[in-house]
Amino acid sequence: MKKFISRSFLLFGIIIILTKSLFLFADNRKESNEYMAALTDKHDRIKAISGRKMILAGGSNLVFGIDSQKLEKEFNTPVVNLGLHAKLGLRFIINELKDIARQGDIIILSIEHDMTLMGNLELQKMTSFYNPFAAKYYKESNDTWIGQFMNIIDNSHLMFKKTISNVIDNLKNDPVYTRKGLNMYGDGVYHLDLPSSSVLGSKSVLKDTRDAKLKLLNDFYDFTKSNEITVLFTYGAYEISEYKKNKVALEKVHQKMKQNLKIEMITGLQDFVYPTSYFYDSVYHLNKKGRTIHTKNMIKKISNSSVSIILNK
Amino acid sequence: MIFNSLDFAIFLPIVFVLYWFVFRNNLKVQNLLIVIASYVFYGWWDWRFLSLILFSSMVDFCVGLALNQSQHTGKRKALLWVSIIVNLGFLGFFKYYNFFLDNFISAFTFFGAEITSNSLHIILPVGISFYTFQTLSYTIDVYHNKLKPTRDFVIFSAFVAFFPQLVAGPIERATSLLPQFYKKREFHYNLAVDGLRQILWGLFKKVVIADTCAGYANTIFNSSAMFSGSTLVIGAVFFAFQIYGDFSGYSDIAIGTSRLFGFHLNRNFAFPYFSRDIAEFWRRWHISLSTWFRDYLYIPLGGSRGGTWMKIRNTFIIFIVSGFWHGANWTFIVWGALNAFYFLPLLLSGNNRTHMQIVAHNNFLPSIKETTSIFITFGLTVLAWIFFRAENITHAIDILTAIFSSSFFTYPEILPKKIILLILIFVSIEWLGRKSEFALQHINYQFPTIPRWVSYLWLIGMILYFSGKPQQFIYFQF
């Protein structure tokens, strides 16, 4: 038994020492060039704006599809593009908005069709690893010693995985998906001069599962109303063949949304559906040409909405 | 609580320390500790499920004692039926109620009758199919006087709920597991180390192989309509490795954990994908279930002793029931029937026991004939897995139609080369260790200490690297 216990401890000790040594090669979380670390920059920009602002919230369709500077000039209001990743989930994004939006702000929710309510837990953990403040957007705060212990374990595990993948995939890091690939507004810009991919990613068969999301969105509307925040809803940019494939399910969802959503919808189902040649690497990510047209369309839709009265004041 | 979770990583050492350091000299308390630990392990999912397992244990314990006291054939039969009805009643209600209700309504609607009824929102208790079969085997064995019933309820509860194998097997026979609770357990260094190695290999299979393959298999199966035949084949092959890694990984962890506590569980998988025909495959896949059905269903039905029609009937019954055991869906029934079709020619021609030893037992590599047989058997198995994984029969047929079309010859849309390389490494390790109980058992025994420890660290590193959110084991749903 003694031999078994001593050898178990020895193995455990070696694992700890090796892991700790590996962490010497880990990058500094605060200065990391990791894509998800860009959330800190976006929040810093929000904090730096004292008055009314326009917040674009949603997934990566916003990162690739919007020229925030144009929106800012058009509406003479500072814009923050908060979009980052659809897999963070709607609950995460809404909790984030509740945390940062202030009286007078205008929120444009641009949601991908395949965004789920709860999102992907691992991505959420990864996001809060680089942006510790984001933990409260997907889990209940747990300040007990167990909660803190679990956080340490989670973070060590993530750091281990990240360090290993940085070593393995260092040469493969796509600069488009890095923190530096985004400009001061939070828009992705690195991809603008790159050729589009021959095969688009994020293709999926969609199902009608929006009921829980509708409730969350309506609750959020009540929150914005009581805090004098304006919120508009739009679908994200979407590639045409994917739209055709999923048309039946999407129409069902859209009818439900039209009937039940309290938030003002500024687009129809097809308004932001674009040809394949407008897309960069996925059915939600626009290229330079697509981005220009989509930004123009977005400006038009916002101008035609009830928000225009506030913006013209 | 699942094996690949932090909860279990904390739970196991605590139970281990209490078991060997605190209660080492008291067998009764050790058994009680196993019961309590098993109930905590099971209640971690949902404490309400504990009432089921407790009730089932009480019924079978009492039936066992009553069977021992009675010599009257009619009364003994009645007692056996009480156990069968209670156990299969639970299983039928929780697992099959909605299936039968829906099919009953569909049948009447087909004939023009209008019946409306609401399905119940029933939560399937984890592992119910496993422990009900385990307790059933106890009552049947006592009924046939193959086993003396236990008079110790703690021991019986420990046998039913023994946490390493409670939720996904191996389904242990009372004749094998129950006597082990009566014996004083001694700690054996080699046995414990062997257990840890098996746990390590099981975790590797689950976390690295099964969960990684699951990501691709799920993407391809969930959106099968948009993929070519070649991609669908890749999806089906990935699913084959997912289910093998998942289920045999669980069994390895279960057997390894039992070894840490001085118990021996029966082998559940014996390198099934190296089988040269379907009969061999079924001797190597989910052995504890196959032998359960053989002993408690196939043989009582007459087995293969009768004429040709009886053989055919019994083969179909056992495979279809086995399919249905996996879940309340027609896909599982078709999967079972398909395997019966594969198996029958071997049975009828008397070739079902041709390959009893592991392939290339005396050689390093298989012959061309053996390699061809392995590939054909694997291909047939993968074809059947399509039904197992599909959402419904139409879905499976759509996938098969796409596979047997010209799109089979196109370049697949999804071809994860790194993962395929990983699977090849995994298959190679399994091949090297195929003569042992589990692949890692003897492969690196001949290594000096440092390379051996490096190989452990490599496996641990891979498990940590590939692990994310702990994924449920597929077989928990059965």
Within A24-133, where are the H helices? 38-48, 60-65, 68-75, 90-100, 121-130
**DSSP strands (E only) in chain A:** 54-58, 79-81, 106-111, 230-235, 238-239, 264-265, 273-274, 279-282, 285-286
Residue A205 sits at the chain B interface (C-beta within 8 Å): yes
What's the mean pLDDT when you consider all of chain A?
A: 87
Mean pLDDT in residue range B165-186: 91
**Best A4, A10, A206 residue to mutate vs chain B (most B CBs within 10 Å):** A4
pLDDT number for residue B378: 97
Contacts B259 to A, Cβ<8 Å: none
pLDDT number for residue A213: 83
- Measured between CA atoms, how close is A135 to chain B, in angstroms? 16
- Measured between CA atoms, how close is A155 to chain B, in angstroms? 12
Banded model confidence at residue A236, pLDDT cuts 50, 70, 90: very high
CB A42 within 8 A of CB A63: no
pLDDT number for residue A307: 84
Banded model confidence at residue A237, pLDDT cuts 50, 70, 90: very high
pLDDT number for residue B413: 85
Kindly write down the DSSP assignment for every residue of A148-183, as one continuous string: HHHHHHHHHHHHHHHHHHHHHHGGG--GGGBGGGB-
Kindly write down the DSSP assignment for every residue of B148-209, as one continuous string: PPPS-HHHHHHHHH-GGGTTT-----HHHHGGGGTSPP---HHHHHHHHHHHHHHHIIIIII
Beta-carbon contacts of residue B469 (< 8 Å; ≥ 6 apart):
A121, A122
pLDDT number for residue B79: 93
Instruction: Say whether pLDDT at B116 is over 70.
Output: no
Looking at the partner chain, which of A1, A157, A245 has a beta carbon nearest the beta carbon of B464?
A157
Instruction: Say whether pLDDT at A266 is over 80.
Output: yes
Comparing C-alpha atoms, which of B120, B379, B447 is closest to residue B237? Answer: B379
Residues 228-247 of A with CB under 8 A from B: 245
The percent of residues above 90 in pLDDT, for chain B, comes to 59
pLDDT number for residue B471: 57
The percent of residues above 90 in pLDDT, for chain A, comes to 45
Instruction: Say whether pLDDT at B470 is over 60.
Output: no
Looking at the partner chain, which of A11, A122, A205 has a beta carbon nearest the beta carbon of B225?
A205
Mean pLDDT in residue range A229-252: 91
pLDDT number for residue B332: 92
**In DSSP terms, which residues pair with A109 in a beta bridge?**
A57, A233
pLDDT number for residue B113: 65
pLDDT number for residue A30: 77
Comparing C-alpha atoms, which of B473, B477, B14 is closest to residue B203? Answer: B473
Instruction: Say whether pLDDT at B244 is over 60.
Output: yes
Find the residue in B nearest to A206 (Cα).
Answer: B223
Instruction: Say whether pLDDT at B119 is over 60.
Output: no
Mean pLDDT in residue range A73-98: 93
Banded model confidence at residue A300, pLDDT cuts 50, 70, 90: very high
Mean pLDDT highest for which of B84-88, B107-111, B126-130? B84-88
The percent of residues above 70 in pLDDT, for chain B, comes to 92
What's the mean pLDDT when you consider all of chain B?
A: 89
Comparing C-alpha atoms, which of B145, B143, B137, B144 is closest to residue B178? Answer: B137
CB B171 within 8 A of CB B47: no
Sign of CA dihedral B70, B73, B78, B84: positive
- Measured between CA atoms, how close is B440 to chain A, in angstroms? 18
pLDDT number for residue B225: 83
Q: Is B334 exposed, middle or buried (0-12, 13-18, 19+ CB in 10 A)?
A: buried
Residue B22 sits at the chain A interface (C-beta within 8 Å): no
Instruction: Say whether pLDDT at A46 is over 80.
Output: yes
pLDDT number for residue A91: 93
Instruction: Say whether pLDDT at B114 is over 70.
Output: no
Task: Quickly tell me which residue has 């455990």 as its tokens.
Answer: A12
Banded model confidence at residue A281, pLDDT cuts 50, 70, 90: confident
A198-212, A256-270, B17-31: which has the minimum mean pLDDT? Answer: A198-212
Residue A255 sits at the chain B interface (C-beta within 8 Å): no
Residue B469 sits at the chain A interface (C-beta within 8 Å): yes
User: Judging by DSSP bridges, how do beta strands A106-111 and A54-58 pair with one another?
Assistant: parallel
The more confidently predicted of residues A58 and A33 is: A58
Contacts A3 to B, Cβ<8 Å: 189
**In DSSP terms, which residues pair with A56 in a beta bridge?**
A81, A108
The more confidently predicted of residues A128 and A110 is: A110
Looking at the partner chain, which of B189, B222, B457 has a beta carbon nearest the beta carbon of A4?
B189
Among left, alpha and beta (phi > 0; psi -120 to 50; other), residue B38 is alpha
B105-114, B138-147, B273-282, B425-434: which has the minimum mean pLDDT? Answer: B105-114
Find the residue in B nearest to A163 (Cα).
Answer: B465
Q: Could you give the CA distance from residue B436 to residue B426 in angstroms, rounded to a whole number?
A: 15
Mean pLDDT in residue range B219-239: 91
pLDDT number for residue A68: 95
Banded model confidence at residue B473, pLDDT cuts 50, 70, 90: low
Looking at the partner chain, which of A11, A122, A150 has a beta carbon nearest the beta carbon of B468?
A122
Say whether A160 and B464 touch across the interface (CB within 8 A). yes
Residue B20 sits at the chain A interface (C-beta within 8 Å): yes
Contacts A5 to B, Cβ<8 Å: none
pLDDT number for residue B373: 96
Looking at the partner chain, which of B192, B196, B469 has a beta carbon nearest the beta carbon of A122?
B469
CB B328 within 8 A of CB B104: no
A33-37, B38-42, B273-277: which has the minimum mean pLDDT? Answer: A33-37
Instruction: Say whether pLDDT at B186 is over 60.
Output: yes
A/B interface, count of CB pairs below 8 Å = 40
Beta-carbon contacts of residue B336 (< 8 Å; ≥ 6 apart):
B319, B320, B321, B322, B323, B324
Mean pLDDT in residue range B112-131: 69
| Positions of B marked active-site | 326
Banded model confidence at residue B203, pLDDT cuts 50, 70, 90: very high
Mean pLDDT in residue range B34-48: 91
Banded model confidence at residue B290, pLDDT cuts 50, 70, 90: very high
Beta-carbon contacts of residue B217 (< 8 Å; ≥ 6 apart):
B235, B236, B238, B239, B242, B389
Say whether A205 and B453 touch across the interface (CB within 8 A). no
pLDDT number for residue A172: 54
pLDDT number for residue B451: 85
Query: What are phi and psi for residue A108, nearest 5 degrees?
Result: -105, 110
Looking at the partner chain, which of B192, B457, B464 has a beta carbon nearest the beta carbon of A4?
B192
Say whether A205 and B223 touch across the interface (CB within 8 A). yes
The CB density around residue A158, as the number of other CB atoms within 10 Å, is 18
Instruction: Say whether pLDDT at B257 is over 90.
Output: yes
Q: Could you give the CA distance from residue B162 to residue B170 in angstroms, rounded to a whole number?
A: 11
Q: What is the ipTM of this complex?
A: 0.73
A53-62, A141-150, B290-299: which has the minimum mean pLDDT? Answer: A141-150
The CB density around residue B60, as the number of other CB atoms within 10 Å, is 27
Mean pLDDT in residue range B318-337: 90
Instruction: Say whether pLDDT at A232 is over 60.
Output: yes
Residue A168 sits at the chain B interface (C-beta within 8 Å): no
Contacts A164 to B, Cβ<8 Å: 461, 465
Per-residue pLDDT of B352-404, as tens digits, reads: 888 889 999 889 999 999 999 999 999 999 999 999 999 899 999 999 999 99
Residue B17 sits at the chain A interface (C-beta within 8 Å): no
Instruction: Say whether pLDDT at A207 is over 70.
Output: no
Say whether A160 and B465 touch across the interface (CB within 8 A). yes
The percent of residues above 70 in pLDDT, for chain A, comes to 93
Sign of CA dihedral B269, B275, B279, B281: positive
Find the residue in A nearest to B195 (Cα).
Answer: A4
Instruction: Say whether pLDDT at B74 is over 60.
Output: yes
